[in-house]
Amino acid sequence: MIERDRLSVEEGARIHADLEAALATGEGILAAAGSALDAVQAVVVALEESPRFNAGKGAVYTADGAHELDASLMEGHSRRAGAVAGVRTVRNPIALARAVMDHSPHVLLVGAGAERFADTQPQIARVDNAWFDTRTRHAQLLQEQARERQAQAVSLKGAYFGTVGAVALDLHGHLAAATSTGGMTNKRYGRVGDSPLIGAGTWADARVAVSGTGWGECFIRCAVAHDIAARMAYGGACLEEAAEAVVMQAVPALGGDGGAIAVDVQGNIAMPFNTAGMYRGWIARDGSRGTAIFGA
């Protein structure tokens, strides 16, 4: 998890710069009347290229010392969606998720099958699994394994760092959401969390777009992204009320933690989190913008 006393001023500044660069990428696409779907994909690609987030280059390690990456995206007005899980050689998993959406009849492809599908898509950049290596994440793996040995049990809480996501509303009134992650440090047995699961880590419809980050098992059990949308559609809640209820009440009730980012069709933004911090950046409909890591 993100803790204030473990983040140096210098590293915090780099994170803010990466968030601002990603925002500028999405802003450029939307300002040119591009689609929300293209914008969220481009933002997530930018974050996957940074070693400071748990996605792409900064992905955490599995128990066997490798990287398995997951991603998904969804377009609200069409309900089209694409996702991949457990990929090991795809430089930008969100791009492969988009290819699943655009060039296959499926929504979710996993593991070796997703890799074989990537072989048919010449636009998808491929890398050796070692390309995702970073010293920081390797140190986290060793620390988690040492903690596991000492406790003589597998601990899940706090073993994830910085899943990335983006939500957007475009000039056409369309919404989209995208999410990408390296999963959980020291994960085993092909474990998959919420990020590639439509309705859990990612959701978009005509009213709202949502991307989540946190303890994936709890986010799956709460269907976090869809629950926020459902509370708006069926219960009449506004975006802030729905997001707060799910992230601050439903998830902790199961012992989980994390956060979400969401935007509705009126341009309202919600970014609740029940942890010490959550990397986030925003550009509001009135042009105001910002980046943040911790709460007030």
Question: Residues annotated in the binding site for substrate, as ranges?
Answer: 191-194, 213-216
Please give the Cα distance from 174 to 77 (Å, whole number): 6
**Which DSSP symbol is given to 246?**
I
Considering only CA atoms, which of 145, 162, 163 is closest in space to residue 154? 145
Please measure the distance between the N-terminal and C-terminal CA atoms of the chain and give it in whole angstroms: 17
Query: With 0-12 CB in 10 A as exposed, 13-18 as middle and 19+ as buried, what is 188?
Result: exposed
Cα 186 to Cα 189: distance, rounded to the nearest angstrom: 10
Give the gyration radius of the chain's Cα atoms: 18
**Residue tagged active-site, from 62, 120, 134, 163:** 163
Contact present, 183 and 192 (Cβ < 8 Å): yes
Helix or strand holding residue 119 (H, E): helix 111-119
163 is catalytic: yes
Torsional sign, CA 96, 97, 100, 103: negative
Binding-site annotation: residue ranges:
191-194, 213-216
Spatial CA neighbour of 200 closest among 117, 127, 256, 154: 256
Q: Which residues are catalytic?
A: 163
